[in-house]
Amino acid sequence: MLILAIESSCDETSAAVCEFGDGAPIIRSNIIASQIETHKLYGGVVPEIASRAHCDAISGITYEALDTAGVTLTDIDAVAVTALPGLIGALLVGVNFAKSLAFANNIPLVPVNHIRGHIAANYYVHPELKPPFLALVASGGHTSLIRVSDYTTCETVGRTRDDAIGEAFDKVGRVMGLPYPGGAEMDRLASLGNSGAVKFPSAAVVGDNLDFSFSGLKTAVINHLHNLEQKGLPIPGEDIAASFTATVTSSVVKKLTMAVEQTGLTDIVIAGGVAANSHLRAALQSFCDRRRLRFYMPPRSLCGDNAAMIAAQGYYEYLAGVRADTSLNAKATG
Ligand code: KG4
Ligand code: ZN
């Protein structure tokens, strides 16, 4: 079957046409219009600007996805749309556009949770991956450890209590003078630095829980940068990026170790924008190798927000009978 998916939860307008059936799923098109250049001017995503940019882009992006896939709306079996969580104004654009498209053309409409979509990006490249498994969703808005019991049922077993992991990368990057979003550049700088140069506090919350707190770590790095600045000392950007990244990865490995022990799960998945981080990918791969766990990660091209991931989760929601009518609304949390 062919699914047309629409994603507009934050600062990327995306539409994809994907094919599902007996074999591995196929991405026929996955068009992404990024608003980063606009939000860069403000050092972060401005929700009102994001909503307006989605309005401008969504129709063109959707027809481009259909054209690239070589299909028309009459070939589409279901429309999947991100309905939660995200910026409410941004989500509303995608939800209302998808509703109109689905009902005007008599196509079933399937609402999808954005976080489950991130996880589902893995199904394109790892068709052998099947629930149950443990997923770490690490993005600009979310940091969660999730027990995925089947394709449409999951439970959050650990979460950040304050900043998301990507938010910490971006805020540290901003104080270091990097353009928004700083995550990818921090990754590059970290490869050039000494990860033992500065000792920062762990982001793993103390105790028998699976939670993180990135706010304390972020503040410690920012204070360190301000101290150097006040003393007129040079900022060793590479060493700070490397030390910060090493602290992030060791905090993640610590809670993942506990999560594996608590859940007994042996298949580990990462997803979300920060899953593109080369140091996190390497650290989790070696953790899983040491423990003889199976490790799955999406290609970098499917880590950030995109509509193909929404199609993948939409397929399983469709099979489970999930449908929406014209009363479908967007939700900021979920
Ligand atoms: O999943 P995503 O595209 O959007 C949300 O759902 O939030 O994630 C975006 C986040 C940003 O914070 C960005 O800086 C971060 O992913 N990111 C990275 C890397 N590439 C993107 N963080 C660390 N290292 C990277 N290579
Ligand atoms: Zn996302």
What is the arithmetic mean of pLDDT over 227-237? 96
Closest CA to ligand 1's atom 7: 140
Residue at 24: amino acid letter: A
Closest CA to ligand 1's atom 20: 184
Model confidence at 302: pLDDT above 90: yes
What is the arithmetic mean of pLDDT over 217-240? 97
* CA 231 to ligand 2 centroid distance, Å: 39
CB burial readout 20-50, b (16+ within 10 A) else e? beeeebebbbbbbbebeeebeeeeebbbebb
The rounded mean pLDDT for the chain is 97
Q: Are 311 and 18 in contact (CB under 8 A)?
A: yes
- pLDDT for position 83: 98
**Distance (Å, rounded) from C-alpha 200 to C-alpha 124?**
37
Evaluate the omega torsion of the peptide bond into residue 85 and state whether it is cis, within 30 degrees of 0.
yes
Mutational pocket test of ligand 1: of 139, 180, 214, 218, the residue with most ligand atoms within 8 Å of the beta carbon: 139
* CA 300 to ligand 1 centroid distance, Å: 10
**Distance (Å, rounded) from C-alpha 113 to C-alpha 316?**
12
**Distance (Å, rounded) from C-alpha 334 to C-alpha 317?**
16
Q: Which domains does the chain have, with CATH numbers?
A: 2-123+303-319 (3.30.420.40), 130-297 (3.30.420.40)
* CA 239 to ligand 2 centroid distance, Å: 28
The whole-model pTM stands at: 0.97
Closest CA to ligand 1's atom 23: 183
pLDDT tens-digit readout, 92-137: 999 999 999 999 999 999 999 999 999 999 999 999 999 999 999 9
Closest CA to ligand 1's atom 1: 273
Q: Are 187 and 138 in contact (CB under 8 A)?
A: no
* CA 114 to ligand 2 centroid distance, Å: 6
* CA 164 to ligand 2 centroid distance, Å: 11
pLDDT tens-digit readout, 5-40: 999 999 999 999 999 998 899 999 999 999 999 999
* CA 334 to ligand 1 centroid distance, Å: 20
Model confidence at 334: pLDDT above 90: no
Judged by its nearest atom, the ligand closest to the C-alpha of residue 301 is: 1
Residue 169's closest CA among 314, 305, 276, 32?
276
- pLDDT for position 38: 94
Judged by its nearest atom, the ligand closest to the C-alpha of residue 141 is: 1
Strand duo 2-7 + 78-84: pairing: parallel
* CA 233 to ligand 1 centroid distance, Å: 30
In ligand 1, the atom with minimum distance to the C-alpha of 188 is: 26
pLDDT tens-digit readout, 180-205: 999 999 999 999 999 999 999 999 99
HEC sequence for the chain? CEEEEEECCCCEEEEEEEECCCCCCEEEEEEEEECHHHHHCCCCCCHHHHHHHHHHHHHHHHHHHHHHHCCCHHHCCEEEEEEECCCHHHHHHHHHHHHHHHHHCCCCEEEEEHHHHHHHCHHHHCCCCCCCEEEEEECCCCEEEEEEEECCEEEEEEEECCCCHHHHHHHHHHHCCCCCCCHHHHHHHHHHCCCCCCCCCCCECCCCCCCECHHHHHHHHHHHHHHHHHCCCCCCHHHHHHHHHHHHHHHHHHHHHHHHHHHCCCEEEEECHHHHCHHHHHHHHHHHHHHCCEEECCCHHHCCCCHHHHHHHHHHHHHCCCCECCCCCCCCCC
Tokens standing for 171? 């805020």
List residues near ligand 1 (CB under 6 A).
10, 139-141, 166, 169-170, 181, 183-184, 186-187, 272-274, 276-277, 304-305
In ligand 1, the atom with minimum distance to the C-alpha of 181 is: 14
Closest CA to ligand 1's atom 5: 140
- pLDDT for position 17: 99
CA 29 to chain centre: 19
